[in-house]
Amino acid sequence: MFEGLKNKLGLGKKKTPAPETEVPAPAAHTIAKPEPEEKKAPGFLNKIKTLVVEHEFVLSEKDIEESLFELQMVLLESDVAYPVAEAITEHMKKELVGTHRKLRESADDVVTDALRHAIEKVLGEGFDLVSYIKNHEKPVKILFTGVNGTGKTTSVAKIAHYLQSQGLSVVVGAGDTFRAGAIEQIRVHCERLGIKLIAHQEGADPSAVLYDTVEYAKAHKTDVVLADSAGRFHNRVNLMNQLEKIKRVMKPDLVFYVDEAVAGNDAVIRAEEFEKTVSTDGVILTKVDMDPKGGAAISIAYTIGKPLVFLGVGQGYDDMKPFTPSLIIDEIFGDD
């Protein structure tokens, strides 16, 4: 994942230094040919690096203005939303401008560290769900919502598996009662994982299903309720009204919005519009491993001001990873 962004930034490729060799003095009566001027690879990183020469000086805003503009263009081409690309370049400017660069300080390190720090600030710290659950009154009720077809139901199963692996007891509520096969889909997952499922018949009131799920959790002293719900769009009034009813009845402690990274800027726009209609507490991004550019994962949390909680990076139950900034940054920068 993030290969497109990584390649455009020219990152992730370890350079092998050429071995130092002693050059003999030219023989008498010979004329040493001038060495051909080394060609610099294109790209904003190389443009900024050429400014970091082997003596101490101070970078000015004018020095790096053109290079930062080029960086912004690279980010936009990689599906990073415009406000986010602006934020990254602004963070880089603050770190680079006015800072003394010392004798023989590595230009690669100077620029790469500034970009890494800028992306860290944009991504945020994420959200430690396990700590939240352990320190909160039980059961912790989590409602999953978002656009249809983004992997929401499968994400519920994967997160249930993850929470079980952390020693927490889980019950799942089959609140998507309208999509054909949705109840059976979550039932198969729960049977495979050995997780209790509360479900009614197809077409039932999802609020009633999730009310029963919460009551089961209370009676059995279960740590976490994971509530699936039907996919919806922010402009579908009837579905949004239904979601409001679910929230009134279930009283969730957390509402997580689920979307897919491969949607690129569409995912960012959807998340922003959805947040205006239904307040959420965090974002789960699926299909991150299939995103050729990587921009949505960087953009979505910054745009709506809510933390990334999990990233789906594969098809297996273990492929739902708790978000940390390093999960994305190390992939972009090619760190081991």
Task: Determine whether the annotation assigns residue 209 to a binding site.
Answer: no
Cis, peptide link before residue 19, omega less than 30° from 0 = no
Task: Determine whether the annotation assigns residue 270 to a binding site.
Answer: no
Task: Determine whether the annotation assigns residue 151 to a binding site.
Answer: yes
Task: Determine whether the annotation assigns residue 228 to a binding site.
Answer: yes
Burial class (CB in 10 A: 0-12, 13-18, 19+), 93: middle
Task: Determine whether the annotation assigns residue 122 to a binding site.
Answer: no
Task: Return all residues near 297 (Cβ < 8 A) that are at least 6 apart.
Answer: 2, 261, 285, 288, 291, 308, 311, 328
Q: At residue 101, what is the residue type?
A: R
Task: Determine whether the annotation assigns residue 149 to a binding site.
Answer: yes
User: Which is it for strands 308-312 and 320-322: parallel, antiparallel or unpaired?
Assistant: antiparallel
Task: Determine whether the annotation assigns residue 318 to a binding site.
Answer: no
Task: Determine whether the annotation assigns residue 124 to a binding site.
Answer: no
Burial class (CB in 10 A: 0-12, 13-18, 19+), 24: exposed
Task: Determine whether the annotation assigns residue 146 to a binding site.
Answer: yes
Task: Determine whether the annotation assigns residue 287 to a binding site.
Answer: yes
Task: Determine whether the annotation assigns residue 232 to a binding site.
Answer: yes
Task: Determine whether the annotation assigns residue 148 to a binding site.
Answer: yes
Asked if 107 and 52 touch (Cβ cutoff 8 Å), the reply is yes
Task: Determine whether the annotation assigns residue 46 to a binding site.
Answer: no
What's the CA gap between 336 and 331, in Å, rounded? 9
List the binding residues.
146-153, 228-232, 286-289
List the binding residues for GTP.
146-153, 228-232, 286-289
